[in-house]
A and B are shown apart, each in its own frame.
Chain A
Amino acid sequence: MSADAESVASRFLNAILWGEHRQVWEMLSPTGREHVLEAGARRGLDPLQAQRLRLGTSPLDERDTFLTGLVHGLRVDFASVSLEDIHPTGDPVPSADGSFEIELECPASFGAGAWAAGSLTVSEVDGVWRIDRVHPLVSRSE
């Protein structure tokens, strides 16, 4: 089960890297999509548009524009490291709510070993691993 979760995490990072915007949206769990829409609302996303996105009734142009912005935002979140080099590491850590935390790391820019790059929260929805949250590590002092 945990190997699947890790491969989903890798696929998610790869989808961000290659701009596969619909794939990114499909890989988000309902919780993950809600987080994205909440973040959008804080930045002025129209509530009606958010509802259309939630229900999957958006016109294609509207959806693609939103998802393009989402991919760009995720790339910015990981801008301090090369997205291509980020990979899941270690065993997923279970949480009390049934989700799992997958640590991400990337090769160290200097010295040996690897640096933490953040984490992904994943959960199983209808037998498929989905992304709940993305926690990029934006500062080495965190």
Chain B
Amino acid sequence: MSEPEQRSYDVAMSVEALASAWARTEDAVAGSVVLADTEVSGRLRGGVPWTLGGAESLSMAIVVRPNIAPMQEALLWAVAGLAVAEAFTVATGTEHGAIWPDRVVVSAHNEPSCFLNVLVQLRPGAIDHAVIAVRVDLRPLQIEGIECNGTELVSTIADAVQSSIAQIEQDPVALLEAFNDRCQIIDQLVLAKLLPRGEARGRATAVDSDGFLVLESSTGMLERIAPASLRSLDLADPHRR
């Protein structure tokens, strides 16, 4: 089996598009990484434009080929969140956490410096491949004076993602426990705005075995939120209850 490769581009439409095309047409092995200095049309989850480029940012996408059921595809957001939060902790020396489904932060009250995106390509009865995109605003990391070597960060993230993929295949319960421990919104009151419309509020209790966020109201009503139906997620103001 061949080793994962890395491809770097000065300019790309988006790292997900290149990584997905590589996986689809050239059978890129799991762990292969695409890097771009500048993205013409970088998009975060939900199509939000990503405009940073050059030395201010890091845009990368990792090809993964998880051996999990297609119905569990939403778990890949937890895989990505856990892996990147752990990689940031190692690379910066500062404890990082995740905000389900797509952000990595120092704490739930900090502005996120890292955004995730997950694209899944299915084939009959299985996941053919997925692309985990990681976009990092390096400016806050530099402002805080943290030594952050870009090349090292890329390999740390890629290794952590591969390691989390292996864990989700072997012991998904342990991975979810680890993710829920790192998830900064667990036990917090949150407001989930949904697609195409509507919202749900409640205390975030966990990300469940399908990768859905579970909200619990004060009377015990449970609502499961899928990443695909989430428009935005914010901490709710408990005083407005």
A17: chain B residues within 8 A (beta carbon): 201
- Distance from B236 Cβ to chain A, minimum over Cβ atoms (Å): 9
Complex partner residue of B217 from A21, A76, A83, CB under 8 angstroms: A21
B198: chain A residues within 8 A (beta carbon): 75-76, 79
B241–A21 CB distance below 8 A:
no
A13-25 Cβ-contact flags toward B at 8 Å (1 or 0) = 0100111111100
A18–B220 CB distance below 8 A:
no
In the complex, residue of chain A having the shortest beta-carbon distance to the beta carbon of B200? A19
B221: chain A residues within 8 A (beta carbon): 19-22, 64, 67-68, 71
A20–B197 CB distance below 8 A:
no
Q: Which of A38-87 contact B (CB under 8 A)?
A: 64, 67-68, 71, 75-76, 79, 83-84
B197–A18 CB distance below 8 A:
no
- Distance from A70 Cβ to chain B, minimum over Cβ atoms (Å): 10
Q: Does B219 contact A (CB under 8 A)?
A: yes
Tally of B interface residues using CB under 8 Å: 16
Report how far A24 CA is from B223 CA in the complex, Å. Answer: 16
A14-B241, A64-B220 given; A19·B215 CB < 8 A: yes
Q: Does B218 contact A (CB under 8 A)?
A: yes
- Looking at chain A's contact residues, is the secondary structure mostly helix, strand, loop, or mixed? helix
Report how far A67 CA is from B218 CA in the complex, Å. Answer: 14
A76-B198, A79-B197, A83-B199 given; A22·B241 CB < 8 A: no
Q: Does B202 contact A (CB under 8 A)?
A: yes
A76: chain B residues within 8 A (beta carbon): 198
Report how far A20 CA is from B215 CA in the complex, Å. Answer: 12
B223–A19 CB distance below 8 A:
yes
A19: chain B residues within 8 A (beta carbon): 200-202, 215, 217, 219, 221, 223
B217–A20 CB distance below 8 A:
yes
Q: Which of B201-234 contact A (CB under 8 A)?
A: 201-202, 215, 217-223
Question: What are 21 A-to-B residue pairs whose CB atoms are below 8 Å?
Answer: A18-B201, A18-B217, A19-B200, A19-B201, A19-B215, A19-B217, A19-B219, A19-B223, A21-B217, A21-B220, A22-B219, A22-B221, A23-B219, A64-B220, A67-B221, A71-B221, A75-B198, A75-B199, A76-B198, A79-B198, A83-B199
16 more contacts with CB within 8 A, not counting A20-B221, A84-B240, are A18-B241, A19-B221, A19-B223, A20-B217, A20-B219, A21-B217, A21-B219, A21-B221, A22-B219, A22-B221, A67-B221, A75-B198, A75-B199, A79-B197, A79-B198, A83-B199
Residue ranges of A at the interface with B (Cβ–Cβ < 8 Å): 14, 17-23, 64, 67-68, 71, 75-76, 79, 83-84
